[in-house]
Amino acid sequence: MQLLRCRTRCSDSTKFTVITIARTTATMGDNSAADPRLIEAQLDFRTFIDVLRDDGDLADIERKVDPHLELGAIVRRVSETNNKAPLFHNVKGTTKDGLWRAFGNAASLSGHGPDKYGRVARTFGLPRNATWKEICARTQLAKSQSPLPPNILATGPCKENKILGADNIDLHSLTVPKLHQEDGGKYIQTYGVHMLQTPDKSWTNWSIFRGMVHDRNHIVAQVNPRQHNYVVKEKWAALGETRVPWVLAFGIPPAATLAAAMPIPEGVSEGEYVGALVGRPLDVVKAELSDILVPANSEIVFEGYMSLEDKAIEGPFGDYLGYGFEDDKRMQPLFCVEAITYRNNPIFPVSVPGKITDESHTTSALAAPEILTFLKAKGYPIKDANAPLETMATWCALQVDGPALWARKTTPAEFCREIGELLYSQKCSMLVNRFILIGDDVDVYDWQELMWAFVTRCRPGRDEYHFDDKPALPLTPYQSHGGGDPTKGGKSLSDCLFKMEYEGPPNFLKTDFETSYPPGVKNKVVDTWSAMGFN
């Protein structure tokens, strides 16, 4: 899986709040909100890269890099070391037309300090030291008013160069990288955004799903049930059509890329949602071959159609949970490339999924705030939610509001069954395999705290609830290769609440430095810490 290739959602609401980024960041006391470049960085890929450079979070690589495995190896090692985002200025085999420079790790982590979420924060116009909680809250701020329609321009930078006609397209001539040695081919699509429009043009879906070069002018890409691209495909098929107009845009506005991976309700066009998210309309232009509107400052745009008749083998591919299985080959639709437009000296974005942490994990984790919003709207006593990156976002911790839970006068079994049945029936939980209920004394964003609660409060068997009839994601390795039905089950909820926490105030306290000592003692220890020889 590449990013939230399986689109997720809970709420059917199509209303979003239009909030300017100045208001958003001002709530965190950050003066950078007034910087127009930080607003622009959400809406322009190159400005985003420039901001990363100013942040000291970009590696400009001038030496020649081979797209066959070397480029992928660099991007993968960056993910595994939380290093600077690489911008490759000299990719071996670049055509005379300048196709293309390459950029990796747009939404992976940066370092291990307070700025480690900096790239995701900058994508949403936030300070580089924004916490994950602040980032999650930012994604939900645009959900109470109507989406903001885009601003349609006559032309834009993405039209600076054009290659028209399927006979003039040769994908083999482009510097398409081989990302992992176990991959079944060259994956040209790992961080671009597919755009498909319903026949009545009422909905244009943007989504991210992987695509492999098949021949000189075809890409084979995954289109699976429960994804929004599949919903659009079925609408065309119902009319007896055999081709679906299609666009694949690379290097679009960073906020739009993450919107394409976020849990946006079915029927809401991401191009309009981005306007609400940023507080400014997205500049778009009409595609060359269809009525699909494309971000005007896209780096590279492929146009053509998705065939509803022709298929080819896709895979295998080293995926986001850290495995590449030799037998992961499936027949998937062919996408015909009939036109390519691009900016001068374009930049091609690349994601190389694998073990934590890369774009697949950070964007998957953004399902948690959608789950939280959904549960709160339903009146459940949940204060916060987080999908820890340490679990590759396959677990989601739910922090319970103690007094609100007591007021329900429920039992552990009743509450856990009710929550599990509800959530595992929602698409926003499709990537989640385990929910963890925790008390409000546990920091939902602290992995060590979560594990402490899990190993001390959840009794194996008795406090675990399984949901074997719920839809599952076959990309989870134990679903596809561990036995059992790969399409359902493998879902659980672990109750990390003591029985007393359902009935009233608990009679226990943590035994740690913060809780076990009075302020005077703690202050004395802290004030004399260095003098005693401690770091």
Domain presence at residue 372: no
What confidence tier does 427 reach under pLDDT thresholds 50, 70, 90?
confident
pLDDT of residue 478 exceeding 50, the answer is yes
What confidence tier does 508 reach under pLDDT thresholds 50, 70, 90?
very high
pLDDT digits (tens, 9 = 90+) for 480-501: 998 889 989 999 999 999 999 9
Same domain, 65 and 165: no
Mark residue 226 as left, alpha or beta (left: phi above 0; alpha: psi -120 to 50; beta: remaining): left
Quote the CA–CA distance of 310 and 387 in Å, as a whole number. 38
| pLDDT top residue among 25 and 508 | 508
Quote the CA–CA distance of 212 and 215 in Å, as a whole number. 9
Annotated binding site for prenylated FMN: 205-210, 227-228, 270, 427
Any bridge partners for residue 285, and if so which?
294
Same domain, 164 and 304: yes
pLDDT of residue 7 exceeding 70, the answer is no
Task: Give the count of domains, the chain.
Answer: 3
Domain presence at residue 518: no
Domain that holds residue 488: 379-502
Looking at residue 3, what is its pLDDT?
45
Looking at residue 475, what is its pLDDT?
86
Closest to 139 (Cα-Cα) out of 271, 35, 251, 276: 276
| 344 and 224 Cβ atoms separated by less than 8 Å | no
pLDDT digits (tens, 9 = 90+) for 217-231: 999 999 988 788 999
Domain presence at residue 4: no
End residue of a domain, out of 112, 141, 170? 141
Quote the CA–CA distance of 142 and 41 in Å, as a whole number. 18
| 497 and 435 Cβ atoms separated by less than 8 Å | no
Same domain, 320 and 421: no
Domain presence at residue 294: yes
- Span 158-164, average pLDDT: 98
Q: Where are the alpha helices (H) located in 378-496, listed in sequence order?
A: 402-408, 412-423, 447-457, 477-480
Task: Check which CATH number belongs to the domain holding 269 and give it.
Answer: 2.30.110.10
Quote the CA–CA distance of 341 and 299 in Å, as a whole number. 9
Displacement of CA 507 from its chain's centroid (Å): 40
Domain presence at residue 510: no
Closest to 382 (Cα-Cα) out of 415, 417, 345: 415
Q: Which of 254-268, 278-292, 342-356, 404-418 has the lowest mean pLDDT?
A: 254-268
* Residue found by looking up tokens 């979420």 in the block: 117
CB-CB neighbours of 449 under 10 Å = 17
Distances (CA, A) of 477 to 328, 366, 474: 11, 21, 7
User: Across all residues in the chain, what is the average pLDDT?
Assistant: 92
Domain presence at residue 181: yes
pLDDT of residue 259 exceeding 70, the answer is yes
Same domain, 300 and 432: no
pLDDT of residue 105 exceeding 50, the answer is yes
Q: Quote the tokens at residue 393.
A: 């976002």
Closest to 85 (Cα-Cα) out of 64, 114, 54, 63: 54
pLDDT digits (tens, 9 = 90+) for 354-405: 999 999 999 999 999 999 999 999 999 999 999 999 999 999 999 999 999 9
Same domain, 197 and 330: yes
3-state secondary structure of 266: coil
Same domain, 224 and 319: yes
Annotated binding site: 205-210, 227-228, 270, 427
| 493 and 465 Cβ atoms separated by less than 8 Å | yes
| pLDDT top residue among 254 and 473 | 254
* Residue found by looking up tokens 């026949």 in the block: 199
Closest to 221 (Cα-Cα) out of 320, 353, 312: 312
* Residue found by looking up tokens 């399927």 in the block: 166
Same domain, 45 and 112: yes
pLDDT of residue 144 exceeding 70, the answer is no
- Span 61-66, average pLDDT: 98
Quote the CA–CA distance of 457 and 452 in Å, as a whole number. 8
Looking at residue 129, what is its pLDDT?
97
Closest to 389 (Cα-Cα) out of 419, 359, 418, 411: 359
Same domain, 395 and 339: no
Quote the CA–CA distance of 512 and 508 in Å, as a whole number. 12
Q: Where are the alpha helices (H) located in 279-408, listed in sequence order?
A: 359-364, 367-377, 402-408
- Span 456-472, average pLDDT: 95
Quote the CA–CA distance of 109 and 136 in Å, as a whole number. 15
Closest to 142 (Cα-Cα) out of 7, 235, 42: 42
Looking at residue 266, what is its pLDDT?
80
- Span 183-197, average pLDDT: 97
pLDDT of residue 60 exceeding 50, the answer is yes
Domain presence at residue 527: no
- Span 234-242, average pLDDT: 97
Same domain, 182 and 320: yes
Quote the CA–CA distance of 86 and 105 in Å, as a whole number. 7
Any bridge partners for residue 161, and if so which?
342
Q: In what order do the strands lie in the sheet with 347-350?
A: 58-61, 85-88, 101-104, 347-350
| 347 and 257 Cβ atoms separated by less than 8 Å | no
pLDDT of residue 14 exceeding 50, the answer is no
Quote the CA–CA distance of 358 and 412 in Å, as a whole number. 36
pLDDT of residue 19 exceeding 90, the answer is no
Side chain identity, residue 391: T
3-state secondary structure of 214: strand
End residue of a domain, out of 86, 119, 141? 141
Same domain, 287 and 416: no
End residue of a domain, out of 85, 109, 141? 141
What confidence tier does 95 reach under pLDDT thresholds 50, 70, 90?
confident
Quote the CA–CA distance of 193 and 209 in Å, as a whole number. 8
Task: Check which CATH number belongs to the domain holding 419 and give it.
Answer: 3.40.1670.10
pLDDT over 90, % of the chain = 82
Q: Quote the tokens at residue 179.
A: 């990302």
What confidence tier does 145 reach under pLDDT thresholds 50, 70, 90?
low
Annotated binding site for Mn(2+): 205, 228, 270
pLDDT of residue 250 exceeding 60, the answer is yes
pLDDT of residue 11 exceeding 50, the answer is no
User: Whole-prediction pTM value?
Assistant: 0.91
Looking at residue 142, what is its pLDDT?
75
Q: Quote the tokens at residue 268.
A: 């809401």
pLDDT over 70, % of the chain = 93
pLDDT digits (tens, 9 = 90+) for 277-319: 898 999 999 999 999 999 999 999 999 999 999 999 999 999 9
- Burial, 59: exposed, middle or buried (Cβ in 10 Å; 0-12, 13-18, 19+)? middle
Domain presence at residue 361: no
Looking at residue 10, what is its pLDDT?
57
Looking at residue 24, what is its pLDDT?
40
> β-strands 330-342, 161-164: how paired?
antiparallel
What confidence tier does 140 reach under pLDDT thresholds 50, 70, 90?
confident
Backbone torsions φ then ψ of 364, nearest 5 degrees: -60, -35
Same domain, 150 and 137: no
Same domain, 72 and 127: yes
